């Protein structure tokens, strides 16, 4: 931990997201971790039940979803118009607007702004965009400490960990793990946790309050994201629960907001749709405890220097594919993660991105491209069960998009000597024509006649091993249906 | 090319399939904005949902509000309170008379000073019955945002005529303030977190005690 | 009990997996529909809906299946398949694949045939207007609504309506019924560990019901859950909906 000694903030785990192996490999240790499985089952089950209860209170839910879908479609299909309008409104309201083509540029801008203020620390509101561009590490490299202030982000940061969920980044940790992290780490970075602290969530939240309060009271610069950015007024919106967002957005003198270009909404009125869709889908609440809206600089109230960094970082790639575009409707509610049976069993780390779960499986390959193993594997990290679409508040057709991206991956792999394209070509030949199919059927029937007393096959070598390691495989019966049909229906008809 | 031009250029290239230039004509939105949500008793629902979020709610005739404020502050053990400049004079007088030490925010109190104050008393802009939400537009009777954030107790008075059925009506009422550049703070109960095992804990960074008077 | 319909002619879409692996299911469909007065035909040209290729990203390999499907079934008013998943794939993916093939003629044909393709439960309830098919099955049964039958083919509660009218049946609710069993086609071999974890949870819920039979409208899912149930010697027998509906009091099967 010598490198740690020179750092201002806890070091994240070694390695990069893009260097991660494919999903299947990452899933293995997660599945073997009983504690993790238990934490995830409990947490996703709890939040699913809350969501259902709150959504069922709204009779026009489906109408709301369709409005949420349509407004985002309108915005995305005319994104240039709305971005220019947003910029004009922000400038009129006293904000400075910056544009960043990619993560590196966004980080350079933010680091430069912080350095210009002559400070060596910032407080941060939970923000997916800053996680995506890995801003904290860029600031750390510049000698600037970025303090995460959302409780779950704090647990992740102090735990030298990575987020595993969009809404609840520490969903993979249980209370006793959180207690250990707080006891071990808080004292190294500020106010210590009380030595006699228990694992009661209320006590742990109390420790976070004390640990962060001194940081809130002294911070001169804050960094946030935004859930929505209103083009007509230049208003940014942050939806949160704990008040850490309000602290960051209100107390420091300078506020830097890093906002993905897809976050824009045309009008203030549009908020009525999303402020109903988001909390019920996300935390399963009628409304989240706090929502802050601010429009540039308000004289005498809050930060008097306001910057907005509009980030592309791959979003225009997704926008360019009409079949991929719907992913940009995402309002980061996490309902698709919570309902996903795959996510529930492996958690978020296996997805190799700050965007895990079904939305991550469609978003990452579009934002980052499909040249890395992890991004090639993500579209296949789903059974296509369709539960994610049912709960998505903006009706993103995730299963259809996964299939579309699988085609992109398959096309990308074409011509490379691999087992799968060959197997698919062979099976394609068998099933493309009745005569080929019947030939193959006879082969299957032959196998059954060779092993006349076998009804099921147990563990078998590859290529059957992935199936038969834990599952028996029924033997094909000696007589196919079409053979029976010929004998019993066609003859004599 | 600068980043702005390049990103806008990428966006325009990406949207080559979009031929209708008018966004509204291109994508119709089948949604009627600003509608009320039907409910039997808006005020009763407001009380129910706000209490659901572990806020204390007291209903009082307008004339009794000053007395109720004093009682609630005393009940919460408040010794010091900061009051926004535009707060109702009768409320201010009642608070001062109750023995609570009153501070003003002129000149602006520092963060550290605010942190030592027990409570803040404010009016509000809108109450939302269906969600148990109170919205501040930070007019003179509510003060700047930090006032209602740092002290640990927030007592807020909502007038019955400020309570609407649901979010849609609220957004419609608040839109002019947003256009004027006013910041908004939407508050639904005391600050809370569910970040540890999805177990809800009331009281993190924002005021841990939320006291609401519904003035009728 | 005898129900006679007005002699509709039905083309049976057996599906490739049933044809080879589970011939008892299409046979049960034949028996059931004939008992209900339909004339059943089996167009020999049929092979597969192509879903395996589509869902693995090999659209080009799936297109011949679409052409084949149209060729086999275009002459029929009613095409009935005992699989929510395959019927769902025909409905939801064939139009997309015809577009992919950039073949407007095929797309038009697909639209016509797709509109006439039914899952067995839809055909019984919506076309024949029957929920009581006169079946007899005196056993404790639990029903798993497969994902594609519910979310793609959208059969709703039709299978449940049909099952609940079966004489002698003891239909018990399956906990977490709406969660996927982990099959997912090639998912089961591409992500075998996750697939098995899901299937094992599903099997655990099935066993907890104390049912003798697990019924679904999709044999692929049944093969997945059944594979665990068999490995664990649970004694719970997987059975397709059609095979329950085909059984009658005093019948041979």
Q: What is the pLDDT of residue C253?
A: 47
Q: Find tokens 């209903």 and name the residue.
A: B59
Does residue C68 sit in the same domain as residue C44?
yes
- pLDDT band of residue C1 (cuts 50, 70, 90) is very low
* ipTM summary value: 0.97
Buried b (16+ CB within 10 A) or exposed e, C226-236: bbbbbbbeeeb
| B53 and chain A in contact, CB less than 8 A | yes
φ and ψ of A15, to 5 deg: 90, 165
- How many distinct structural domains can be found in chain C? 2
Number of Cβ pairs < 8 A linking chain A and chain B: 265
| Angstrom distance (rounded) from CA B6 to CA C227 | 55
pLDDT of residue C127: 97
Q: Which residues on chain B are in Cβ contact (under 8 Å) with A243?
A: 149, 191, 204-207
Q: How confident is the model at residue C252 (pLDDT cuts 50, 70, 90)?
A: low
What residues in A contact B171, CB-CB < 8 Å?
Answer: 268-269, 271-272, 275
Task: Kindly report, residue by residue over A418-436, the tens digit of the pLDDT.
Answer: 778 788 888 888 888 888 8
Contact check, Cβ <8 Å, A387/C147: yes
Chain C residues 219-248 within an 8 A CB cutoff of chain A: 223-224, 226-228, 230-231
Domain that holds residue B139: 35-215
**Does C contact B via 3+ CB–CB distances below 8 Å?**
no
- Say yes or no: C86 and C112 in one domain: yes
**pLDDT value of residue A428:** 86
Phi, psi of A439 (to 5 degrees): -60, -45
Element (H, E) at A24: helix A23-32
C190 touches chain A (CB under 8 A): yes
Determine the distance in angstroms separating the CA of B107 from the nearest CA of chain A, rounded to an integer. 11
Does C17 share its domain with C118? yes
Find the CB nearest B191 among A78, A243, A312. A243
Using a CB–CB cutoff of 8 Å, tell me whether C58 touches chain A.
yes
Residue A300, φ and ψ in degrees, nearest 5: 80, 0
Q: Find chain A residues with C-beta within 8 A of C183's C-beta.
A: 383
Question: What average pLDDT score do residues A88-108 get?
Answer: 98
Q: Where are the alpha helices (DSSP H) in B59-154?
A: 65-75, 89-97, 111-115
- Average pLDDT estimate for A275-301: 97
Percent of chain B with pLDDT over 70: 100
Q: Do A433 and C55 make contact, defined as CB atoms within 8 angstroms?
A: no
Q: Does a structural domain hold residue C229?
A: yes
Mean pLDDT of chain B, nearest integer:
96
Q: What is the 3-state secondary structure (H, E, C) of C25-83?
A: HHHHHHHHHHHCCCEEECCCCCCCCCHHHHHHCCHHHHHHHHHHHHHHHCCCCEEEECC
* pLDDT band for position A16 (cuts 50, 70, 90): confident
Give the start-to-end residue ranges of the domains of chain A: 7-13+61-311, 432-490
Q: Over 90: is that where the pLDDT of B51 sits? A: yes
Residue B4 lies in a domain: no
Residue C216 sits in a domain whose CATH number is: 3.40.50.11810
Which CATH number do you get for residue B52? 3.40.50.10420
Confidence (pLDDT) at A340 = 98
Average of per-residue pLDDT values in chain A: 94
Tell me the per-residue pLDDT of C29-46, one tens digit each, with 9 for 90 and over: 999 999 999 999 999 999
Range of the domain at C61: 9-127
Integer Cα distance of A227 and A332 in angstroms: 8
Residues 333-372 of A with CB under 8 A from C: 341-342, 345-346
B19 near A CB under 8 A: no
Closest residue in A to B167 (Cα–Cα): A272
- Is the per-residue pLDDT at B99 higher than 50? yes
Chain A neighbors of B125, CB-CB under 8 A = none
Chain C neighbours among A 455-474 (CB < 8 Å)? 456, 458, 463, 466-474
Both C170 and C95 in one domain: the answer is no
Residue C206 has pLDDT above 60, yes or no: yes
In a domain, C213, yes or no: yes
**How many Å lie between the alpha carbon of A16 and the closest alpha carbon of chain B?**
25
Q: Is the pLDDT of residue C3 over 80?
A: no
pLDDT score, position A1: 42
C47: which chain A residues are within 8 Å (Cβ-Cβ)? Answer: 431-434, 437
List of chain B residues whose C-beta atoms are within 8 Å of the C-beta of residue A79? 11, 15
Domain membership flag for residue B94: yes
Domain boundary among C127, C153, C182: C127
The answer to whether the Cβ–Cβ distance between A437 and C48 falls below 8 Å is: yes
Q: What is the pLDDT of residue A448?
A: 75
Average pLDDT over residues C63-71: 97
Task: Write down the CATH number for the domain with range A7-13+61-311.
Answer: 3.40.50.10420
User: Which among C23, C61, C199 has CB closest to A471?
Assistant: C199
Of all residues in chain A, what percent carry a pLDDT higher than 90? 84
DSSP A16: -
Residue in A383, A403, A480 closest to C187 by CB: A383
The shortest C-alpha distance from A17 to chain B (Å) reads 24
Confirm whether C24 is domain-assigned: yes
Shared domain check, C110 and C75: yes
Total count of domains within chain B: 1
pLDDT of residue A218: 96
Q: In 3D, which of A144, A132, A108, A133 has the Cα closest to residue A222? A: A144
* Mean pLDDT lowest among A34-38, A370-374, C4-8, C52-56: C4-8
- Using CB atoms and an 8 Å cut-off, which of residues 81-110 of chain B contact chain A? 108
Which tokens hold the place of B122? 């404010």
Tell me if the pTM is above 0.90: yes
Which tens digit of pLDDT belongs to each residue from A440-459?
Answer: 888 877 777 777 778 888 88
Q: According to DSSP H, which parts of A283-386 are helical? A: 315-320, 335-339, 341-346, 357-368, 373-377
How many CA atoms are closer than 13 Å to the CA of B107, on its beta-carbon side? 1
- Residues in C closer than 8 angstroms to A472, CB to CB, are 226-227, 230-231
To the nearest whole angstrom, how far is the Cα of A387 from the nearest Cα of chain B?
A: 21
For residues C100 and C161, state if they share a domain.
no
| DSSP-based three-state secondary structure for A15 | coil
């Amino acid at each position: 931990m010598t490198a740690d000694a020179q750092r201002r903030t806890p070091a994240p785990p070694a390695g990069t997201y893009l260097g991660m192996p494919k999903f299947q490999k990452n899933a293995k240790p997660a599945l073997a971790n009983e504690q993790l499985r238990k934490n995830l089952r409990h947490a996703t089950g709890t939040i699913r039940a809350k969501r259902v209860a709150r959504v069922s209170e709204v009779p026009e839910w489906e109408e709301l979803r369709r409005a949420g879908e349509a407004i985002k479609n309108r915005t995305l299909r005319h994104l240039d118009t709305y971005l220019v309008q947003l910029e004009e409104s922000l400038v009129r309201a006293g904000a400075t607007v910056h544009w960043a083509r990619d993560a590196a540029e966004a980080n350079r801008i933010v680091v430069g702004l912080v350095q210009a203020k002559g400070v060596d620390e910032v407080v941060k509101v939970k923000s997916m965009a800053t996680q995506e561009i890995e801003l904290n590490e860029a600031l750390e490299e510049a000698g600037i400490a970025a303090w995460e202030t959302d409780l779950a982000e704090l647990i992740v940061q102090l735990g030298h960990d990575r987020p595993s969920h969009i809404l609840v980044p520490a969903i993979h940790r249980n209370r006793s793990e959180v207690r250990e992290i707080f006891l071990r780490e808080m004292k190294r970075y500020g106010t210590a946790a009380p030595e006699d602290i228990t694992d009661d969530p209320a006590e742990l939240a109390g420790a976070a309050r004390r640990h962060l309060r001194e940081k809130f009271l002294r911070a001169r610069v804050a960094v946030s994201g935004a859930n929505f950015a209103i083009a007509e007024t230049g208003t940014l919106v942050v939806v949160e629960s704990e008040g850490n967002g309000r602290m960051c957005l209100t107390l420091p003198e300078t506020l830097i907001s890093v906002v993905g270009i897809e976050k824009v909404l045309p009008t203030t009125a549009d908020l009525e749709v999303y402020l109903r869709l988001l909390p019920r889908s996300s935390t399963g609440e009628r409304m989240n405890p706090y929502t802050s809206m601010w429009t540039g600089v308000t004289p005498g109230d809050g930060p008097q220097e306001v910057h907005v960094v509009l980030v592309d970082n791959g979003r225009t790639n997704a926008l360019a594919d009409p079949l991929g575009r719907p992913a940009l409707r995402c309002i980061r509610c996490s309902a698709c993660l919570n309902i996903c049976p795959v996510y529930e069993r492996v958690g978020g780390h296996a997805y190799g991105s700050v965007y895990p779960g079904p939305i991550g499986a469609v978003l990452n390959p579009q934002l980052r491209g499909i040249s890395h193993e992890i991004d090639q594997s993500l579209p296949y990290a789903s059974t296509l069960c369709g539960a994610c679409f049912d709960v998505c508040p903006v009706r993103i057709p995730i299963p259809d998009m996964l299939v579309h991206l699988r085609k992109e991956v398959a096309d990308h792999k074409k011509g490379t000597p691999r087992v799968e394209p060959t197997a698919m070509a062979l099976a394609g030949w068998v099933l493309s024509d009745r005569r080929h199919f019947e030939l193959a059927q006879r082969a299957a029937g032959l196998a059954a006649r060779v092993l006349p007393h076998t009804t099921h096959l147990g563990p078998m070598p590859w290529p059957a091993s992935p199936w038969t390691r834990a599952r028996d495989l029924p033997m094909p019966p000696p007589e196919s249906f079409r053979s029976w049909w010929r004998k019993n229906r066609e003859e004599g008809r | 090319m600068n980043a702005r031009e390049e990103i806008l250029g990428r966006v325009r290239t990406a949207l080559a399939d979009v031929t209708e230039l008018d966004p509204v004509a291109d994508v119709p939105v089948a949604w009627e904005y600003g509608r009320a949500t039907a409910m039997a008793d808006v005020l009763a629902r407001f009380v129910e949902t706000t209490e659901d979020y572990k806020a204390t709610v007291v209903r009082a005739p307008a004339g009794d509000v000053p007395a109720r404020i004093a009682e609630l502050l005393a009940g919460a053990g408040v010794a010091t309170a900061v009051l926004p400049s535009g707060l109702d004079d009768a409320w201010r007088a009642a608070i001062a008379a109750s023995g609570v030490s009153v501070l003003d925010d002129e000149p602006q109190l520092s963060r550290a000073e605010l942190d030592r104050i027990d409570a803040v008393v404010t009016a509000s802009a809108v109450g939302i019955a269906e969600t148990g939400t109170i919205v501040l537009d930070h007019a003179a009777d509510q003060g700047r945002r930090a006032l209602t954030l740092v002290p640990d107790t927030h007592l807020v008075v909502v007038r019955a005529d400020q309570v609407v059925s649901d979010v849609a009506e609220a957004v419609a009422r608040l839109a002019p303030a947003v256009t004027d550049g006013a910041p908004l703070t939407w508050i639904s109960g005391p600050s809370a977190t569910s970040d540890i095992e999805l177990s809800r804990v009331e009281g993190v960074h924002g005021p841990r005690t939320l006291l609401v008077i519904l003035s009728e | 009990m005898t129900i006679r319909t007005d002699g509709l002619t039905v083309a049976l879409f057996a599906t490739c997996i049933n044809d080879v692996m589970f011939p008892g299911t299409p046979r049960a469909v034949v028996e059931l529909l004939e008992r209900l007065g339909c004339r059943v035909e089996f167009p020999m040209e049929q092979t597969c809906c192509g879903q395996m290729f589509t869902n693995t990203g090999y659209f080009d390999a799936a297109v011949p299946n679409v052409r084949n499907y149209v060729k086999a079934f275009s002459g029929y008013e009613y095409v009935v398949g005992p699989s929510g998943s395959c019927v769902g794939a025909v409905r939801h993916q064939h139009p997309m694949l015809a577009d992919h093939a950039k073949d407007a003629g095929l797309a038009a044909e697909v639209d016509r045939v797709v509109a006439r393709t039914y899952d067995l439960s839809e055909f019984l309830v919506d076309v024949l207007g029957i929920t009581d098919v006169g079946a007899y099955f005196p056993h404790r049964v639990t029903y798993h609504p497969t994902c594609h039958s519910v979310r793609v083919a959208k059969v709703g509660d039709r299978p449940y309506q049909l099952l609940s009218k079966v004489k002698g049946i003891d239909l018990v609710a399956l906990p977490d019924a709406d969660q996927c069993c982990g099959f997912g086609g090639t998912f089961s071999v591409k992500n075998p560990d996750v697939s098995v974890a899901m299937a094992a949870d599903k099997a655990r819920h099935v066993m907890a019901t104390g049912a003798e039979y697990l019924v679904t409208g999709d044999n692929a899912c049944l093969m997945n859950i059944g594979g665990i149930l068999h490995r664990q010697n649970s004694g719970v027998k997987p059975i397709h909906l059609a095979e329950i509906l085909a059984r009658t009091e005093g019948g041979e099967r």
